[in-house]
Amino acid sequence: MKLPYAEPFRIKMVEEIRQSTQEERESWLKNAHYNLFNLKSSQVFIDLLTDSGTGAMSDQQWGALMTGDESYAGSRSFEALHETVKKISGYQYLLPTHQGRAAENVLFSVLVKDGDIIPGNSHFDTTKGHIEIRKAHAVDCTIDEAFDVDNPHLFKGNINLEKLEEVYKSHPKEKIPFCLITITCNSSGGQPVSLENVKAVKELSDRYGIPIYFDSARFAENAYFIKMREKGQENRTIKEIAKEVFSYGVGMTMSSKKDGLVNIGGFIALNDENIFRAASNFTIIYEGFITYGGMAGRDMAALAVGLNEATEFAYLESRISQVEYLGNRLIEFGIPVQKPIGGHAVFIDSLKFLPNIPRDQYPAQTLANEIYKEAGIRTVEIGTLLADRDPETRENRYPKLELVRLAIPRRTYTNNHMDYIAVAIKNVYERKEEIQKGYNIVWESEILRHFTVQLKEA
């Protein structure tokens, strides 16, 4: 019999989490204006809000914390991080930042101007925010298969080359500073981009003289999918695959809170000395000196270790298999989830789950709130609230999919937790006919409204 996968770690320290009653949860949710971001973590039993910065560090990382060098300039921990990033990405220059969006802010301050066009595969929300705040436009060129949750396409993060070429043809080169490939594609469901697609995008972009950058938050998970799903890649290491992917671009932004396996941090890595110099100025203004960029030395030390651990096959196998395990439990219960199951999260199709809730009453938010009320599980809406309003018309933008994301923190929960989550969602599914109304907005901010929006029952 083939042995099943098992976690390549054992648990050395535990953190207590507490159950609550349904009555408590209903009152907490009301006080939170029906926005799960407003809950206290003590009001949550299992927290699937995000996999960002919520994972568990290893004993090696905790050890590295104690050896962190807090020198303002030229810290040893920066050196360690720089060596690791060079080894993994092949990019020569490194600018640490306090998290991923800060890397976007610094890099886009150099590269993105008013009226620019940034094509890519479903840009992440903060990425889009940093593009739109500069009055530039993010153009989504993701393949259409990504928006059909039942389509079993193995690389739903891929870029459609015709859509991309259309962008390249219809705008002058000067207006397109770069093409951005997000690996894995968070917004389309943690779906990977194939090596073949990256190569094809590179070839096409070369013909138009457009460079490629990677939004690399989950580059290791992406490399795992390439190894498992792409012909000819099965015998390569994760590190070899990741390095080849990066070789087709000129630089990357990174949220270290994902595949860096740390709780905070980010960076830019790139090869162009002039862009590095220009970005260094913005790093100094926004983040800190260029050898720490908003990170403590000890955090850079832990990140250097984390990047190595995150690019090991055994870790990725247990990580992604756990997400798949939860997805398969939900599929067994007949719950409509995006297929194939993504790398960091399971996505529930709320238009199918709650067909009675109109789009302008936010069906995905409604479902997320029901799951919380049922069992104290905090998830997140990836739908109309997240999509924000059109910056010009101020109308709601209705995305193709209205999803609830169950993001699984790394090395944090066991498969018993996954079983608990699956049964809780099954219970909501069984009473879905009773859920007839969604929510209306009481207050919202101009941009990235989902974090702070206040709602009332419709």
Ligand X SMILES: *Cc1c(COP(=O)(O)O)cnc(C)c1O
Q: Which residues are tagged catalytic?
A: 72, 124-125, 215, 217, 258, 450
Q: Which span (99-107, 201-209, 335-343, 398-406) binds ligand X, by CB under 6 A?
A: 99-107
Residue 100 touches ligand X, criterion: CB under 6 A: yes
How many angstroms separate the CA atoms of 299 and 196, rounded? 35
Q: Which segment (85-93, 97-105, 155-163, 357-365) binds ligand X by CB under 6 A?
A: 97-105
- Rg of the Cα atoms in the chain: 21
Comparing CA positions, the residue from 102, 7, 12, 5 lying closest to residue 57 is: 12
Helix (H) or strand (E) segment spanning residue 455: strand 454-457
Q: Are the CB atoms for 246 and 210 separated by under 8 Å?
A: no
Distance, CA of 132 to chain centre: 19
Q: Name the residue nearer to ligand X (CB basis): 261 or 357.
A: 261
Q: Among residues 45 and 224, whose Cβ is nearest to ligand X?
A: 224
Residue linked to tokens 């699984």: 408
Q: Is 204 helix (H, G, I), strand (E, B) or coil?
A: helix
* Residue 253 β-bridge partners: 215, 268
User: Can you tell me which of 28, 91, 124, 213 binds ligand X, judged by CB under 6 A?
Assistant: 124
Please enumerate, as own/partner, the contacts of 163-167 that have beta carbons within 8 Å and a separation of 24 or more.
163/119, 164/119, 164/201, 164/204, 164/205, 165/204, 167/117, 167/119, 167/139, 167/141
At its nearest, how many Å lie between ligand X and the CB of residue 101? 3
Closer to ligand X at the Cβ: 101 or 329?
Answer: 101
> CB under 6 A: which stretch of 233-241, 254-262, 280-288, 379-387 binds ligand X?
254-262
Among 39, 111, 201, 217, binds ligand X (CB under 6 A): 217
Nearest to ligand X of 257, 378 (CB atom)? 257
- Residue 186 engages ligand X in binding (rule: CB under 6 A): yes
Examine residue 142 and tell whether it contacts ligand X (CB under 6 A). Answer: no
Nearer to ligand X, 213 or 248 (CB): 213
Q: Does 258 bind ligand X (CB under 6 A)?
A: yes
Q: How far is the CB of 350 from ligand X (least distance, A)?
A: 21
State the number of binding residues for ligand X (CB under 6 A).
15
- Tell the smallest beta-carbon distance from residue 420 to ligand X (Å): 26
Interface segment toward ligand X; rule CB under 6 A; list 58-66, 252-260, 378-386, 420-428: 252-260
Q: What burial letters (b/e) apply to 284-309, b meaning 16+ CB within 10 Å?
A: eeebbbbbbbbbbbbbbbbbbbbbbb
Task: State how far the Cα of 254 lies from the Cα of 222, in Å rounded to an integer.
Answer: 14
Measure the CA–CA gap between 95 and 107, rounded to whole angstroms: 10
**What is the side-by-side order of every strand in the sheet holding 93-97?**
93-97, 266-270, 251-255, 212-215, 179-182, 117-120, 137-140
Cβ distance to ligand X smaller for residue 82 or 128: 128
119 vs 180: CA distance, rounded Å: 6
Residue number of the CB atom closest to ligand X: 100
Selected from 45, 47, 54, 101, the binder of ligand X by CB under 6 A is 101
Residue whose CB is less far from ligand X, 46 or 180: 180
| C-alpha span between 258 and 428 (Å, rounded) | 29
Pairing of strands 266-270, 93-97: antiparallel
Q: Residue 377 and residue 420: Cα distance in Å, rounded?
A: 10
**Stretch of 30-38, 96-104, 107-115, 273-281 contacting ligand X, by CB under 6 A:** 96-104
Contact residue for ligand X among 35, 121, 127, 369 (CB under 6 A) = 127
Cβ distance to ligand X smaller for residue 75 or 255: 255
Q: Which of 52, 188, 365, 379 binds ligand X (CB under 6 A)?
A: 52
Torsions phi, psi of 244, nearest 5?
Answer: -65, -45
281: enclosing H helix or E strand: helix 273-286
How near is the Cβ of 450 to ligand X at its closest, in Å? Answer: 13
Nearest approach in angstroms of CB 303 to ligand X is 12
Residue among 47, 116, 140, 215 that touches ligand X (CB under 6 A) = 215
97 binds ligand X (CB under 6 A): no
User: Which of these segments, 58-66, 124-132, 421-429, 444-452, binds ligand X (CB under 6 A)?
Assistant: 124-132
> Residue 430 in contact with residue 424, Cβ under 8 Å?
no
Pick from 121, 158, 182, 283 the residue near ligand X by CB under 6 A.
Answer: 182
Q: Which residues bind ligand X (CB under 6 A)?
A: 52, 99-101, 124, 126-127, 182, 186, 215, 217, 255, 257-258, 266
